[in-house]
């Protein structure tokens, strides 16, 4: 782990953020964004220095942001399909205890893999809107995501709290 980027986080920052789950998660995510944006290295080189756990947290943030704003179709159309489905994200988040999220992602991956070329094809806004009718099989997965996400967020927060050393250096 000598080439690993672990940003410093103070106990005071943790204490201030721990009352709100998203404040807590963004305590870490914002530091990762700062590292990426301030580095003179190529973004991919910087990302190679992050831990698997840091990647899973960043992937979860993308998943949550995209699915809650436009579902799996938006996630895929915005270029996050391979980021979520071609990486061991579901396996990683399951290891954290967020098994319901992992299950939903695994089911969405089957749809994604089956229709990947069409789902990733660049579209006009009108064509994009029609995708929701063309791929109704994502809707029940999105509904389930909304049902489980609050509880899963707490599981993720707890995992990070119990394993801070994988996400940051306590300073």
CATH number at residue 91: 1.20.1420.60
Which of 128 and 2 is assigned the larger pLDDT? 128
**The domain containing residue 117 runs over which residues?**
8-170
pLDDT recorded at residue 1: 44
Does some domain include residue 1? Answer: no
Does some domain include residue 64? Answer: yes
Does some domain include residue 85? Answer: yes
Does some domain include residue 31? Answer: yes
Compute the distance between CA of residue 55 and CA of residue 88 in angstroms, rounded to an integer.
10
Cβ atoms of residues 3 and 49 within 8 Å? yes
- Helix runs in 18-138, H state only: 21-38, 43-47, 52-77, 81-85, 89-95, 99-120, 125-134
Does some domain include residue 2? Answer: no
Neighbours of 41 (CB within 10 A): 12
What is the tens place of the pLDDT at every residue in 58-115?
999 999 999 999 999 999 999 999 999 999 999 999 999 999 999 999 999 999 999 9
The count of domains in the chain is: 1
Q: What are 131-134's contacts with CB under 8 Å, separation 24+?
A: 131/73, 131/77, 132/71, 132/73
Does some domain include residue 59? Answer: yes
Does some domain include residue 3? Answer: no
Mean pLDDT, rounded, for 5-14: 94
Does some domain include residue 122? Answer: yes
**pLDDT above 60 (res 2):** no
Compute the distance between CA of residue 3 and CA of residue 46 in angstroms, rounded to an integer.
10
What is the tens place of the pLDDT at every residue in 136-166?
999 999 999 999 999 999 999 999 999 999 9
Which of 114 and 1 is assigned the larger pLDDT? 114
pLDDT recorded at residue 128: 95
Instruction: For residue 48, name the pLDDT band (cuts at 50, 70, 90).
Output: confident
Mean pLDDT, rounded, for 1-9: 78
pLDDT recorded at residue 65: 97
pLDDT recorded at residue 3: 65
Mean pLDDT, rounded, for 114-137: 96
pLDDT recorded at residue 154: 97
């Amino acid at each position: 782990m000598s080439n690993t980027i672990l940003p410093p986080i103070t106990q005071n920052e943790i204490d201030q953020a721990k009352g709100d789950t998203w404040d807590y998660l963004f305590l870490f995510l914002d530091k990762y964004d700062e590292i990426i944006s301030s580095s003179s290295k190529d973004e991919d080189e910087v990302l190679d220095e992050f831990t698997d756990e840091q990647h899973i947290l960043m992937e979860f943030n993308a998943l949550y942001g995209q699915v809650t704003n436009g579902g799996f179709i938006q996630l895929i159309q915005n270029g996050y399909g391979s980021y979520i489905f071609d990486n061991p994200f579901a396996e990683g988040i399951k290891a954290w205890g967020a098994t319901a999220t992992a299950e939903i992602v695994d089911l969405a991956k089957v749809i994604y893999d089956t229709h990947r070329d069409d789902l990733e094809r660049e579209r006009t806004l009108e064509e994009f809107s029609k995708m929701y009718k063309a791929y109704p099989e994502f809707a029940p997965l999105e509904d389930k995501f909304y049902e489980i996400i609050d509880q899963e967020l707490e599981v993720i927060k707890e995992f990070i709290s119990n394993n801070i050393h994988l996400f940051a250096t306590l300073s």
